[in-house]
Every structure is written in structure tokens, then in C-alpha cells.
Amino acid sequence: MLWLIALLSGVAIVYFAVRYGRFRNWVEPVLSIAVALGLAAAFLIWLSEGTPEQTPRPQPTRTAAGLSASDIVLRDLTFESNQAERSYRVHGSIDNTSDIPLEYFRLTVTLEDCPDGTCRRIGDDTALILVRVPAGQTRPFETFLTFPFRADEPPVAPKWSYEVSQVRGATRR
């Protein structure tokens, strides 16, 4: 709704500026100052949001039902380059070692490029994985992750680290 008001106001200002010369004389400086203030505000908001390295990572949480990230065991994780340039397909299996059924979990993965033994952090991605795993059982899962690197500079020696950052157990069995 706000965009409609802004659009109609803009059309009215242009109409009056074209139609009346005295209106045009004072509206041009006022609009120039308003645009400059808007751009400055947008720039300050962009600066205050910070870089991805400064954003806090989600901490492992415990659900009210008693299921925690330590009750989840990930096995046989494989990372394959996907057809999209910065996307990877992740396969693996999940063991639910608790006595509470699992409904979903969040997987946070960090990608580093480590050629010649020196590692450069590329980025993180978190995937919500919807998989129902009964208590004490194992299920396979698959998801996709996307990382921020230039298309012409893919990782030469990728190094993966991962953690379960949130779990949700079933409330009824």
C-alpha cells in the first residue's frame, strides 16, 4: 500500500512540476535533498548490518521435549558439486540416539579452500532438513547448500566442517 501512495505522490509532483513553473522552482531542490538523505540512510543501514563474518551463528538449542543436538549423529556426509556453479548437494544419514522422534534439524556447514595447507574461509550456509526419524533409528537425507565465491574461482581443495545447530522433536509419539 505504501508503494502505491509513493507512486501517486510521484506522479502528482511530476504533473505539477510540468504544469506550473513556480512549483518546479522549489520542488527540484527539495526532491534533490530528499533523494540524497534517502541514499545516505540506505548506506548507513547497509554499513550497520555488517559482513557475514560478523553475523552470529545459530547456537545449538534444546527443545522442550528434551531432544538436543547431541542426540543427533550425522554419518557418511558427502558433498558433490551441483549443476549450479556455487551450489553443492549433500548426502548423508542421521542417527537419532534419543528416545524422542525427530521431526527436523538445521545443518550449518562451513566451506574453506585449503590449497597448500593454508585455508581461506569461503562462507557458511544453513539448511533446514525435514526428516522424521523415529527414536533409535537411522534415515538418509539430502539437501543443497550455496556458498559465496566467484564463479571463475571455485575451491581447489575444499574443506568442510559442519554442526547440527537446531533440532525439533515430535511432541506426540
78-103: b or e for each residue (b if 16 or more CB lie within 10 Å)? ebeeeeeebebebebebbbebebbbb
Give, for all 173 residues of the chain, the pLDDT tens digit.
Answer: 666 777 787 788 878 878 887 877 777 787 788 778 888 888 878 777 755 555 566 555 545 457 888 888 999 998 888 766 678 889 999 999 888 898 999 999 988 888 887 888 888 889 999 989 898 899 999 998 888 766 667 778 888 899 988 888 876 54
User: From 3.20.20.70, 3.40.50.10800, 3.30.70.20, 2.60.40.1620, which CATH number describes the 69-169 domain?
Assistant: 2.60.40.1620
Whether the model clears a pTM of 0.75, i.e. scores above it, the answer is no
